[in-house]
A and B are shown apart, each in its own frame.
Chain A
Amino acid sequence: MADFLQLLIAGIATGAIYALAAIGFTLLWQTSQTINFAQGEFVMLPAFFALAAMKWGGAPFWLACLVAVAMSLLILGVAFKGLIVDPLIKHGAMPLVISTIGLSIFLKDGVKDAYSAEAQPFPAIFPDRLIEILGVKVSLAQIGVLIIAFGVIFVLQWFLGGTRIGRQMQATAQNPTVARILGVPVERMILYTFLINAALAAMASLLISPIYLAKFSSGETLGMAAFVAAIVGGFNQVRGAIAGGIIVGVLDNMAAVYVSTAYRQAVPLVLLVLIILFRPQGLLGRKEERAV
């Protein structure tokens, strides 16, 4: 039982990180119809920004983390929107999808060539010390991840629902034409979404890299987890992405122990197939109708 609880906590911690990536994924979809197949690489890359800042810039770890967030906002937020999404979205969703797949390959191989093909150890923000709570051993690192990830999610939810800018972003996501008619600066709201996505990716990267190491190819698994989490929860709901992320994280951890580590990566896919078969709008999603 204690093992199970330990696994559960570890699963929720990983799941909370997946949720960060999945939330960004759904936000981009909602406000700009961008399905970002490079989302996994978006989570892989910021850790390398930090590593590069430490290796070549001699920056201390805390500064490297700030550099990573700043670079993410600039490259994964502003440049991604300005150089890829804006010019392509006019031509429909499909060219953009293909481009993000291309971008994912570019980022992956770019990191491999520019930094290293080896998995890189990444400094942990929290000490990896085990403490015992009610007979269950949990690591401080996991608790730290949980607190930060849920803290970020909480702040984001508060921002979207509790501030006027956040509600203007929601309005833009729900109906951009009407938002424009009411005078909402729609373009700016979309830019905010890209910045939020970049910040979430950077947070996820800094939290997950100490656990799974920073590797150029780690985006494949992360992207799949985020994608499945978003679909499972409901593609058009932030809270769906949170639920989906946690479900995928927990299942993933449980499967590694109770089924087989070899099948670990298959579990999210099985879940994906089941959801698409039986509840295509996702657990918390609403059905979406699109005008043709």
Chain B
Amino acid sequence: MTANANTHQSGDALLLLKDVVSGYGKMTILNGTTAAIRRGAITTVIGPNGAGKSTMFKTIFGLLPVRTGTITMDGKEITNSSPRQMLDMGAVFIPQGRNIFAELTVKHNLELGGVALSDQSGLGDRIEDMFTRFPILREKANAQAGTLSGGQQKLLEVARGLLLNPKLMLVDEPSIGLSPLMVQEVFSILIDLAKKGVTILLIEQNAKQALQMSDYGLVLEQGQARIEDTAKNILNDARVAQLFLGGGMAPAAAAAPAH
């Protein structure tokens, strides 16, 4: 870490997307996305279904190819890096849904989080750290991960991601299927991480709750970043409310009446 980090300037972005275009097959989802994700803060990406939120994460992490445009992390161009290269850069990705290996033990799931560690001798200590941080995982260390509750499985995924001591975490819908209590717990872990300097990029279905604990918000619509602002301003933005009520941000005239 360089000492001249100037946290409050918009120029201090860990991750920069510039005119990124990507999608699946012939379908274009990200259609020239430009955004700056600030260091050591939580940024929540919101937008209607199909806006390209998950696509954006997959594209950043190298699971989908960037057709045009560039992505930079820490001043280095990382466009079309492989997931392994992203891990080596200090990024981890926790995708939507259940992503544990159900038939392996909790401990072995954690261990797999360390595949990309350059110094494998430290793996045991790091697993131990995670057990100390999440005692429930220690308790269940030798149980098949599939036997954990949904919330515990999400904790395991977060712990597995933290094993690499990441600078950047991409977290896609962590609260899906979790009890409100568990959602609180996962959120408080993310807040704690941001305080320690980890940059967190989050997608949440419960946009309001997520923005309330975020520093910044990014509104994505039709594959483009429409608004980048502080979470507070976005929460108070009338256009956002309109967007989430189903109407687009395009002028109302575009949606011409049927007759």
Taking CB atoms, residues of chain A closer than 8 Å to B63 are 177, 180-181
Does B113 sit within 8 A of A, measured CB to CB?
yes
Does B140 sit within 8 A of A, measured CB to CB?
no
Asked if B103 contacts A181 (CB within 8 A), the reply is no
Asked if B104 contacts A183 (CB within 8 A), the reply is no
Task: Provide the bound-state CA to CA distance between A144 and B63, in Å.
Answer: 48
Instruction: Tell me whether A168 and B84 are in contact in the complex, defined as CB-CB below 8 angstroms, given that A175-B101, A181-B61, A181-B63 are known contacts.
Output: no
Task: Provide the bound-state CA to CA distance between A11 and B111, in Å.
Answer: 40
Does B126 sit within 8 A of A, measured CB to CB?
no
Does B112 sit within 8 A of A, measured CB to CB?
yes
Taking CB atoms, residues of chain A closer than 8 Å to B160 are 182
Shortest CB distance B14–A (Å): 19
Q: 0/1 per residue, B100-134, Cβ < 8 Å to A?
A: 01111000100111011000000000000000000
Shortest CB distance B63–A (Å): 7
Taking CB atoms, residues of chain A closer than 8 Å to B84 are 183, 185
Does B83 sit within 8 A of A, measured CB to CB?
yes
Asked if A180 contacts B83 (CB within 8 A), the reply is yes
Q: Which of B70-112 touch A at CB < 8 Å?
A: 83-84, 87, 93, 95, 99, 101-104, 108, 111-112
Shortest CB distance A38–B (Å): 28
Contact of A181 among B93, B102, B111 (CB under 8 A): B93
Residues of A that sit less than 8 Å from B by CB: 164, 167-168, 170-171, 174-175, 177-185
Q: Pick the 3 closest A-B CB pairs, nearest first.
A: A183-B116, A183-B115, A178-B99
22 contacts between A and B (CB under 8 A): A167-B104, A167-B112, A168-B112, A170-B101, A170-B103, A171-B104, A174-B101, A174-B102, A174-B103, A175-B99, A178-B95, A179-B112, A180-B63, A180-B83, A181-B61, A181-B63, A181-B83, A182-B113, A182-B115, A182-B160, A183-B115, A184-B112
Residues of B that sit less than 8 Å from A by CB: 61, 63, 83-84, 87, 93, 95, 99, 101-104, 108, 111-113, 115-116, 160
